[in-house]
Structure 1
Amino acid sequence: MSGADPATTTDVLPAAPRTAPRRPGARRGVAEIVLGTVLGQGLLIAAAPVLARLYSPADFALLQIFTGVVSVGAVLAGLRMDLAVPLARDVTEARAVVRAGLAGTVVVAVAIWLLGLAGAGLWAVNATLADLRAAWWLVPPTVAVIAVFQLLSAVLVRAERYRDLAGRNALQGVGTAGAQLGLGFAGLAPLGLLLGMGVGRAAGLASIARGGLFPPPAAGRREPVTAGQVYAAVRRFRRFPLVTTWTALLNNTGQYAPYLLFSLTYGQNPTGWLAFTSRLLALPATVVGQAVAQVFLGRGASARRDATGDLPRLTWLAVRRLALVGAGPAIALSLAGPWVFGWVFGAQWERAGSYAQLLAVAFLAQFVASPVSNVLNLVERQGLALGWEAVRLVLVVGVPWLVWALGGSDLAGVAAYAGVLVLSYGGVLVLVRWVLRHG
């Protein structure tokens, strides 16, 4: 389940300069992706009050920890080759990059399944983790489908095929909502929430496959990718698996570790309230921020390949306009969170509304900073990103834990978590500014 802020924009990034080769306009690209995402995620927004009554806070606690596990697994599985696809010099190299990512996905998904089963006796230490152990059979296929989804989506980003990305986003939302609602009404909780992730990505993959990936060759049959070409592509982009993978791993761990911490300290219901609230607040990043990130990555990669010097302008215009789009909803939620949650989702979720008040500014910072964080990959300064993510991981786990150890309430823990998020995303913007100035 996820939710959305209704505010959207079709004017976040500028059109290409008049002197550049003509490509699909960034405004149009954002608009198309946002439309597809709104169609898909709109179903989840509409379904959220129903899902809040079909599933309990404990179910959402399990979903969030399951999501963290498969997200971390997908990062390892794809070797971050999805980020290398837009930077490939030609179609042959792009195909080789995709082949490398697919091979890594198979190996890592199987390894995660075996390691998780072997160590389950050590990590299944509370009720939520025991439920995760029972659902571990779902982890490998979900890891694989997410990794492949990201990898093949990068091909569309490379070609700036925004309409296809929009169709993918729409079908992903339809698949997720359909699975979670259908299985919820069938009484299969919490399984319906977990299956919805994989079903949604699989529906999006079906959309991508139907439209094809690479344009047909101008002359005859396309030659198959050789092992040597795959090796050469991996060698050229080796910093993505060797450095960026660990940056993304730290990022995802930092994003989901607080939920594990809440599960081990405050229990199932506070973890479920935090998970439910975070999913609702994160949807603006899904609807608008993700669209901007995909267009920004495509246009930014083009600017780097063509050496136009346009990357700083694209970056700061995106930051300013995202801030304008997100500020109003964040203020409104800060003022009326508990009342809105209790009225829309039911009395058991009123406490989650108090969490929303505390987290509104933090998710505004995420909404603004996340899309432009790709600058660090575009200019291949992965080491900086890795170091900052390590600091962030320590803070998002250590500060809320310290609050709990000192006897703080769950609201105090959420407030500490929110403060760390604001600091960490502000730090990302500082790093981006420094890199754009100093290279």
Structure 2
Amino acid sequence: MFKKILSKVLPKKQFARGVSVLIGGTAGAQLLSVLAAPILTRLYSPDDFGMLAVFTALLTFLTVISAGRYELTIPLPDSEQDAADLTVLGFSLVLCTTIISAFIFIIWPQKIATIINTPQLANYLWIIPLGVFFLGSYQVFNKWAVRQKQFTVIAKTRIYQSVGTLAIQLGGHSLGPLALMGGHATGQGIGASGLAYSALKRPELKKISWRNIKKQAYRYRDFPVFSTWTALFNTASLQFAPIMFIAMFGATVTGLYALTLRMLTLPSSLIGNAIGSVFLSEAPKAKREGNLAELVTKLHSRLAMAGALPLVVLLLFGPDLFALVFGEEWRKAGVYSQWMAPWIYLQFQWSPLSMLTTVLELQRQALIAQVFTFISRFGSILIAMLLGCTADNSIFVFAVVSAVVYLLIMFWFMRKAGVKIRTICTADIKYVSAAFILILPIWLFFRSIL
């Protein structure tokens, strides 16, 4: 009965239906995270969140390369057996990365923590190998599920991950940063195990050929050769920020910045990734049929429309919203949200569309783009540090540079897909203007009575 109701409610077209299912699951996971955030900010201090940000940065560096970027190739082959062999290849590389990271972080935790000027982190670095295994495995089996269009299964894992993570962080709050980091690293394991169980039922994964695995590894060699560096530069351009901020300004400022980024990127990391997964499953076919530009244009327009209202709300109400929801000590994070909102708005659009570099096999160009991103963003922090800028000025400059970089890269690759820049700009201006017209009277009303 329930399935019949869903079949009537959900869109009929495959792309829209896939997006609807994934967004439904990820929206549930996002809602849990949003509801728990005001509790977490009252259980943990900005210093604790600053520690979490540095821990997350280190974990992310390893996770993005854990499968050699071969997970991105799983939806691409025509043959199901080739895709299955790529899945096994990716998981094998995750196991290797886990073993190497365990060796490093268990033997030299104090030295690593001292190098990044966060000696108190040494007691928690042993959690990183667990996180690498769970997060890396999830990435591999998630792409297999995307290929099979198992969007309902993926949606369920999003909720399981959120529940698992929050259960550890809320239930173990007496353990301090250990619960924050442990929840972040191991909560992903629930989703990974669910997707792996579903994948292992497929006959293709029971007939793997190591000869064919070697063949596929060579066929898609550009992904580890170029996409690995692309991912590293992309991660470094974002994750170096909390490491530098904690070294320059301390854990409190880093915690305020990290919470702001976490809250603002929830739609991008959850809903944006959901849309990106469905886009990746449909775009290769659209490319073969000559409809890729049309698909990209429609998707960008919808993303611009969805992000415009939150952008304007943050620009006008950021500090008051953060103080109300998270507590007065987090008001400064609301100021940071105003500065970061345009950057996150553009990231929300580009995050799912970044799969274009995979679909068009533009690994070299993607690497160039990420090197440019890294130099621009890291350079902005370095210049701010050399000029002796305050924490606020440094974060403001970093946010502005990030917004400009995302805009330029989106222009470049969407043109590669045949989309006109004028079309992109028109959609953004139209939806942001409409959002301002809608929200500005409310803002003026509150200003008049306060």
Tell me the TM-score normalized by structure 1.
0.89
CA distance in 1, matches of 2:111, 2:314: 40
Aligned to 2:399: 418
* Residue 343 (str. 1) matches residue 330 (str. 2): no
Q: CA deviation at 1:339?
A: 1.1
CA RMSD in angstroms comes to 2.0
| CA deviation profile, 1:268-307 (whole Å, cap 9, x unmatched) | 1110000000000001113321111111111113334xx1
**Residue type at the aligned position of 2:391:** D
* Residue 59 (str. 1) matches residue 36 (str. 2): no
- The 8 Å contact of residues 81 and 97 in structure 1, kept in 2 or not, is answered as yes
Which stretch has the larger CA shift, 164-173 or 143-152? 164-173
- The 8 Å contact of residues 155 and 213 in structure 1, kept in 2 or not, is answered as no
CA distance in 1, matches of 2:80, 2:41: 45
- The 8 Å contact of residues 109 and 123 in structure 2, kept in 1 or not, is answered as no
* Residue 295 (str. 1) matches residue 292 (str. 2): no
Structure 2's unaligned 5+ residue stretches are 1-10, 420-450
Correspondent of 1:68 among 57, 60, 79: 57
Q: CA deviation at 1:400?
A: 2.1
**Residue type at the aligned position of 1:130:** P
CA distance in 2, matches of 1:216, 1:224: 7
Correspondent of 1:160 among 145, 149, 166: 149
* Residue 429 (str. 1) matches residue 425 (str. 2): no
* Residue 231 (str. 1) matches residue 204 (str. 2): no
Q: CA deviation at 1:89?
A: 2.4
- The 8 Å contact of residues 343 and 400 in structure 2, kept in 1 or not, is answered as yes
Aligned to 1:106: 95
| CA deviation profile, 1:101-159 (whole Å, cap 9, x unmatched) | 11211222222233345555554238962232221110111111111000000011111
| Equivalent residues in 2 for 1:116-155, closer than 5 Å | 116-117=105-106, 120=109, 122-125=111-114, 129-155=118-144
| Secondary structure of 2:388's aligned partner | coil
Which stretch has the larger CA shift, 222-231 or 378-387? 222-231
Aligned to 2:179: 192
Correspondent of 2:357 among 376, 383, 386: 376
CA distance in 2, matches of 1:226, 1:215: 15
Aligned to 2:430: none
CA distance in 1, matches of 2:324, 2:133: 38
| Equivalent residues in 2 for 1:156-305, closer than 5 Å | 156-184=145-173, 187-213=174-200, 215-216=202-203, 224-304=207-287
Q: CA deviation at 1:215?
A: 3.8
CA distance in 2, matches of 1:37, 1:406: 42
Aligned to 1:394: 375
- The 8 Å contact of residues 37 and 286 in structure 1, kept in 2 or not, is answered as no
Number of residue equivalences: 409
- The 8 Å contact of residues 117 and 247 in structure 2, kept in 1 or not, is answered as no
Aligned to 2:7: none
Correspondent of 1:320 among 282, 301, 304: 301
- The 8 Å contact of residues 61 and 271 in structure 1, kept in 2 or not, is answered as yes
CA distance in 1, matches of 2:102, 2:259: 27
Tell me the TM-score normalized by structure 2.
0.87
CA distance in 2, matches of 1:208, 1:122: 36
Correspondent of 1:90 among 79, 82, 87: 79
CA distance in 2, matches of 1:436, 1:88: 20
